[in-house]
Homo-oligomer: A and B are copies of this chain.
Amino acid sequence: MPVGTKATVKSLDPRDLEGLGAEIILANTYHLAMRPGSELVKRMGGLHKWMNWKGPILTDSGGFQVFSLKANTKITDDGVEFQSHLNGDKHFFSPERAIQIQEELGADIIMAFDECAPAGVDEAYARKAMNRTHAWAQRCLAAKTRDDQALFPIVQGSHFKNLREESAKFMASLGTHGIAIGGVSVGEGFEQKFYAVDCAIPFLPKDKPRYLMGVGTPDDILEAVDRGIDMFDCVLATRLARHKAFWDLDGRHDVSNEKFKFDDSPLCPEVPHYASRDFSKSYLRHLVMENELLGIRLLTLHNIAFLFHLMQQIRYHIQAGSFPSFKRDFLARFHHDSTAPGPDPFEG
């Protein structure tokens, strides 16, 4: 899912997303609640009409952002009191409030409000956050008034096998249309991230979509699919573009690199999109060196197209029975993207 934090996938319009073949996009409850406010979006007819995006939308619950705020955050079983990162205004998010905001925004899939523990907490902390997340998921389901929105709860439990297992079982028991795994990509390493996934996966229903939040890089996506994950969201495709970076089959590159000055080859001819095929690295380098907006736009289009193409190939190889060799060959060439930036909840 391309991420449209503030009700726009940065630099792209809905026709661009259609051209990419986007089937669903994500928007952010915290950011939209802070500005312009969900009441405005509701008054303008809801997110779909306001953005002019006719396809499905998923809104996260704001939990990840609120729990990333460092200063003056007060957490109780009732909810979280916090100050806006924009102007310091005081706000209060509870499970009920998160649902109210998401009903006003009007996405198709909405997320339960969860406590997202940071990486490296001890078991007592992780258990307390998990229990709260479970209670909040039940309160979210009870607070829900619209029947045209699917609510996904979020498995927590940090890096503890017993907690991840317990949380997965609990969320599976709620009978929702899909389930997310959260509390990953919060600063932990590659091994720990997939350990958390491995612990939860066996206890999630096989016939419902599993959504791994905040993932990820091409290599993370391959690893996650291999473990049975169906849905992803990540700002990386759009953010890398703003940092002049693009993926091709050999990994990640900085298009401003001097070596591309006279390079008339396209970004990645294997990807069936005009941004990937029809412009030379030389031209892209010129655009980013001159801070031309078209540079960001074309890199954004390409990076998303790259991930969509990867997903298409994954689907093909799963059906053809050749996924293991495809994964091995792709990763052998791509390498592990160890330079991927961590999530920045306030940049989008």
Contacts and interface: CB of A to CB of B under 8 A. Distances in A.
Contacts of A283: 7, 44, 50-52
A45 interface: yes
A296 to B, nearest CB: 6
A44 B40 CA distance: 49
Interface string A283-295: 1001101101110
Number of copies: 2
Contact of A296 (B15, B287, B293): B293
A111 interface: no
Nearest to A9: B294
Interface string A5-17: 0111011111100
Given A13-B298, A278-B52, A297-B13, A262 B292 contact: no
A286 B274 CA distance: 29
Contacts of A289: 35-36
Contacts of A14: 278
A52 B15 CA distance: 20
Interface residues on A, range: 35 or more
Interface in A281-317: 282-283, 286-287, 289-290, 292-294, 296-298
A278 B261 CA distance: 39
A280 interface: yes
Contacts of A45: 264
A40 B282 contact: yes
Contacts of A40: 261-262, 282, 286
24 contacts: A6-B286, A6-B290, A6-B292, A7-B286, A10-B292, A11-B297, A13-B274, A13-B297, A13-B298, A15-B274, A35-B286, A35-B289, A36-B261, A36-B289, A43-B262, A44-B262, A44-B264, A44-B280, A44-B283, A45-B264, A50-B280, A50-B282, A293-B293, A297-B297
